């Protein structure tokens, strides 16, 4: 199966979570409630700083992950573009593969996956980089579910973004 990645726009990402946008004008500040849901499970906010190599083409995704108890926020620190692959959960909890979506996020965008949203791990598109990740957990393995895709997902990514 191949799906076409498109530019990440906040209004198109609403079913999966939220997108933050860094503002260009200096001196401008925006307050955002990234973790809209309150932690009802007693897990602390866990912040992680991560560096990652660029994902070589062709982009293939073999599994999805989700966190049933917490939203998960990714904030670029030193990135170019990065890939966001998501789908909602079915009633029984598995991923709704018929509703898979792929987006290309820009360096000034932060992404917060909603609680229980299936998503691919972080894939950097143009060069190695670093980012911050935050969610409510005791460790990065706490509240992690993996789903092996029956067939690798190939992502078609445009070469240039405006």
Of residues 153 and 133, the one with the higher pLDDT is 153
pLDDT digits (tens, 9 = 90+) for 55-93: 887 889 999 999 988 888 998 888 889 999 999 999 999
pTM of the model as a whole: 0.76
> Considering its fold, how many domains does the chain have in total?
1
What share of the chain in percent tops pLDDT 70? 82
Which among 146, 116, 143, 162 has a CA at the least distance from the CA of 46?
Answer: 143
Residue 156 included in any domain: no
The verdict on residue 62 lying in a domain is yes
- Residue 122 inside a domain? The answer is yes
Supply the pLDDT for residue 28: 45
Q: Using the predicted structure, report yes or no on whether residue 154 has a pLDDT greater than 90.
A: yes
- Cα–Cα distance for residue pair 16/35, rounded to 1 Å: 13
Residue 36 pLDDT more than 50? no
Average the pLDDT over 106-124 and give the result: 92
Task: Give residue 133's pLDDT.
Answer: 84
Whether the Cβ atoms of residue 136 and residue 54 lie closer than 8 Å to each other: no
- Give a yes or no: residue 147 inside a domain: no
Instruction: Kindly state whether residue 33 falls inside one of the protein's structural domains.
Output: no
* Mean pLDDT score, 114-124: 93
Does 34 map to a domain? no
What CATH number should be reported for the domain holding residue 111? 2.60.120.480
The enclosing H or E element of 157 equals none
Reply yes or no on whether the pLDDT at 24 is more than 70.
no
161 domain-assigned: no
The residue range of the domain holding 84 is 2-22+43-135
Beta strand 101-105 with 6-7: parallel, antiparallel or unpaired?
parallel
pLDDT of residue 162: 44
Residue 141 lies in a domain: no
Cα–Cα distance measured from residue 74 to residue 13, given in angstroms and rounded to the nearest whole number: 14
């Amino acid at each position: 199966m191949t799906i076409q990645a498109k530019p990440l726009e906040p209004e198109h990402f609403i079913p999966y979570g939220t997108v933050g946008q860094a503002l260009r004008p200096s001196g401008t500040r925006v307050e955002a409630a990234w973790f809209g849901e309150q932690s009802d499970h007693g897990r602390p906010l866990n912040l992680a700083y991560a560096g990652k190599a660029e994902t070589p083409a062709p982009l293939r995704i073999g599994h999805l992950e989700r966190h049933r108890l917490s939203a998960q926020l990714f904030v670029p620190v030193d990135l170019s573009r990065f890939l966001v692959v998501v789908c909602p959960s079915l009633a029984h909890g598995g991923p709704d593969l018929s509703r898979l979506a792929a987006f290309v996020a820009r360096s000034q965008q932060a992404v917060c996956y909603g609680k229980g949203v299936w998503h691919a791990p972080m894939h950097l598109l143009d060069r190695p980089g670093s980012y911050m990740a935050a969610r409510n957990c005791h460790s990065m393995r706490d509240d992690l579910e993996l789903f092996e895709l029956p067939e690798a997902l190939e992502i078609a990514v445009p070469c240039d973004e405006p």
